[in-house]
Amino acid sequence: MKMTVTPGMVSSLQILKESDLPLPLRLVKRGKVRDVYADGRYVYLVTTDRISAFDVVSEQGVPYKGCALNRASAFGFEKTKGIVPNHFISVPDPNVTVAEAYTPVKVEAIARGYLVGSAWRQYEKGRREFFGTKLREGLIHGQGFDSPLFTPSTKADAGHDVDLNTWQDFADLVGSEAEAGKIRQYTLDLYAAGDLETRRHGGLLVDTKFEYGRRGGDGYIGLIDEAWTHDSSRFLRFADYGRLMEANAPPKAWAEAWVDKEYVRTWLSENGFRGEGKMPAIPDEVIAGASNRAVGSYEMVTGKPLPAADPPTNERIAGNLAKTGFLK
Ligand SMILES: Nc1ncnc2c1ncn2[C@@H]1O[C@H](COP(=O)(O)OP(=O)(O)O)[C@@H](O)[C@H]1O
Ligand SMILES: [Mg+2]
């Protein structure tokens, strides 16, 4: 099925804004994008069609976003299980991942291959040291680093995440030097693996974020949450990257080219929203653009079209969980 969404289609497409699943599944958390359920054995991550920007959730949803993200993560977890253990058990429904319950480590582990986003904004203001790496003078927006940077931040329960600047702060938050070292190395290896997959399909993984947790039982550090998605990563097509760098195009000119959430962030920030006050209504044209980017990022990382699915309803999800024996 060809998944391209046009602005005129937006209002007629079914979206999953909030899930509602029956007992014995208990809702333990509504995150910005995922609803998390537990049954004492596993956790059930329902990736909805919600979109957040600057840590605020929009009242609107993005068609196909939930299933595109859920399937991209499933692909990422499968591809990288030899690099780092992860929580993944199965995908019984296009929007659901069944996973082992981990205790989240409260850091966001970010790897960056290129000077864009907040790193660029800080570099432009004169910052040269990024979590122990010194950048040279004269870099331009979008320039690739000699080797990818690891730039962790806090994972705030509410409000905004804050950059961590020293190894000590990072290790203290993680809980031990040895685990902090593991998280750094896993993150750089997972970034490299994602970039390789993306390059095989004509794109670049510009940067990406991971979350880790401690596994019940042995407390071993593993990868949780999501992997290589539209929300956690920035993607570009090679050709667009080449064209933008050749023109030394300003960050604004990159807005259309992002195959990820940066597209929506840029639209909001150009329309006066950076996280404070009420989020403006996002026009259907931008919602359609976001949908095509969510699906596009899945295709760029996997090299495959997103499998077709029935409209994402609670009935479909409960039915699929029952069929696969997770809901009795
Ligand atoms: N395997 C797991 N065990 C326990 N919690 C998890 C697991 N995987 C992800 N989580 C948590 O589930 C939530 C996912 O929802 P999400 O919408 O991504 O949250 P957020 O608003 O924090 O980004 C996050 O709080 C994440 O830390
Ligand atoms: Mg999240």
Q: How many CB atoms lie within 10 A of CB 326?
A: 20
pLDDT score, position 2 = 57
Q: 243 C-alpha to center of ligand 2: Å?
A: 32
Q: Is 227 in the pocket of ligand 1 (CB under 6 A)?
A: no
Which ligand is closest to the CA of 211, given by its number?
1
Which atom of ligand 1 lies closest to the CA of 87?
1
**Ligand 1, pocket-test mutation among 86, 225, 231, 232, most atoms within 8 A of CB:** 225
Residue 3: the pLDDT is: 77
pTM for the whole thing? 0.97
Query: Which residues are CB-neighbours of 81 under 8 A, at least 6 positions away?
Result: 88
Check if 225 has its Cβ closer than 6 Å to any atom of ligand 1: yes
Ligand 1 atom nearest residue 35's Cα = 15
Do residues 258 and 236 touch, judged by C-beta distance below 8 A? yes
Centre of ligand 2 from the C-alpha of residue 137, in Å: 34
Of residues 10, 47, 21, the one with CA closest to residue 32: 47
The ligand that comes nearest to the alpha carbon of residue 159 is 1
Give me the domains of the chain, ranges plus CATH numbers: 107-236 (3.30.470.20)
Q: Does the CB atom of residue 33 touch ligand 1 within 6 A? A: yes
Ligand 1 neighbourhood includes 211 CB (under 6 angstroms):
yes
Does ligand 1 lie within 6 Å of residue 224's CB atom? Answer: yes
Is the CB of 76 inside a 6 Å radius of any atom of ligand 1? no
Q: Which residue has the tokens 């993984």?
A: 205
- Going from the Cα of 225 to the center of ligand 2, the distance in angstroms, rounded, reads 6
Q: Nearest CA to 262 among 213, 209, 210?
A: 209
Centroid of ligand 2 to alpha carbon of 242 (angstroms): 30
- For the chain, 328 residues long, the average pLDDT of each consecutive 10-residue run is 86 97 97 97 98 96 98 98 98 98 97 97 97 96 97 88 94 97 98 98 98 94 98 98 96 95 95 94 98 98 97 98 96
In the reported structure, the alpha carbon of residue 311 is separated from the centroid of ligand 1 by a whole-number distance in angstroms of: 24
Query: Is 65 near ligand 1, meaning CB less than 6 Å away?
Result: no
**Is there an atom of ligand 1 within 6 Å of 72 CB?**
no
Q: Three-class SS string for the chain?
A: CCCCCCHHHHHHCCCCCCCCCCCCCEEEEECCCEEEEECCCCEEEEECCEEEECCEEEEEECCCHHHHHHHHHHHHHHHCCCCCCECEEEEEECCEEEECCEEECCEEEEEEEECCHHHHHHHHCCCCEECCEECCCCCCCCCEEEEEEECCEECCCCCCCCECCCHHHHHHHHCCHHHHHHHHHHHHHHHHHHHHHHHHCCEEEEEEEEEEEEECCCCCEEEECCCCCCCCEEEEEHHHHHHHHHCCCCHHHHHHHCCCCHHHHHHHHHCCCCCCCCCCCCCHHHHHHHHHHHHHHHHHHHCCCCCCCCCCCHHHHHHHHHHCCCCC
Residues with Cβ within 8 Å of 140's Cβ and at least 6 positions away in sequence, in order, are: 115, 245, 248
Position in ligand 1 atom list of the atom nearest CA 155:
22
Ligand found nearest the CA of 44: 1
CA distance 251 to 266: 9
Question: Taking Cα atoms as reference points, which of 122, 119, 102, 103 lies closest to residue 111?
Answer: 119
